[in-house]
């Protein structure tokens, strides 16, 4: 009987530790407002799960995260091929190439 109770307690303990954060198929909401995938960096929601989702799905956030400072200059550390794999449009890629160019020009 003691073995059965210990086994049941172990199963309950394991079940209570399960990760129940399953992503829904619809848009995330934060504070009652739907998260728009076209929002820019300054408009992140407060919910940490929604922030993670946006960082991994918003093209502008993904590409802006790849601007790095290297050898005394800003560099877009992302090739056009990599951008296409991340579903970043050619226009957006060119926009950020120009942004990096202007960042270095203003220095």
DSSP code of residue 17: T
pLDDT at position 31, please? 47
Bridge partners of 69, per DSSP, are 74
Tokens of 37: 């995938």
Q: What is the pLDDT of residues 70-104, one digit of tens each?
A: 999 999 999 999 999 999 999 999 999 999 999 99
Give pTM, 2 decimals.
0.52
Alpha-carbon gap, residue 39 to 31, rounded angstroms: 16
Bridge partners of 75, per DSSP, are 68
Length, in residues, of the chain = 107
């Amino acid at each position: 009987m003691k073995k059965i109770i210990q086994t049941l307690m172990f199963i309950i303990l394991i079940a209570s530790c399960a990760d129940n954060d399953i992503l829904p198929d619809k848009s995330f909401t934060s504070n009652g407002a739907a998260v728009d995938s076209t929002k820019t960096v300054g408009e992140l929601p407060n919910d940490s799960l929604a922030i993670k989702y946006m960082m991994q799905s918003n093209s502008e956030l993904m590409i802006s995260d790849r601007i790095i400072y290297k050898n005394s200059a800003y560099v877009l550390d992302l090739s056009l091929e990599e951008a296409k794999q991340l579903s970043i449009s050619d226009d957006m890629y060119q926009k950020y190439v120009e942004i990096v160019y202007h960042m270095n020009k203003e220095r």
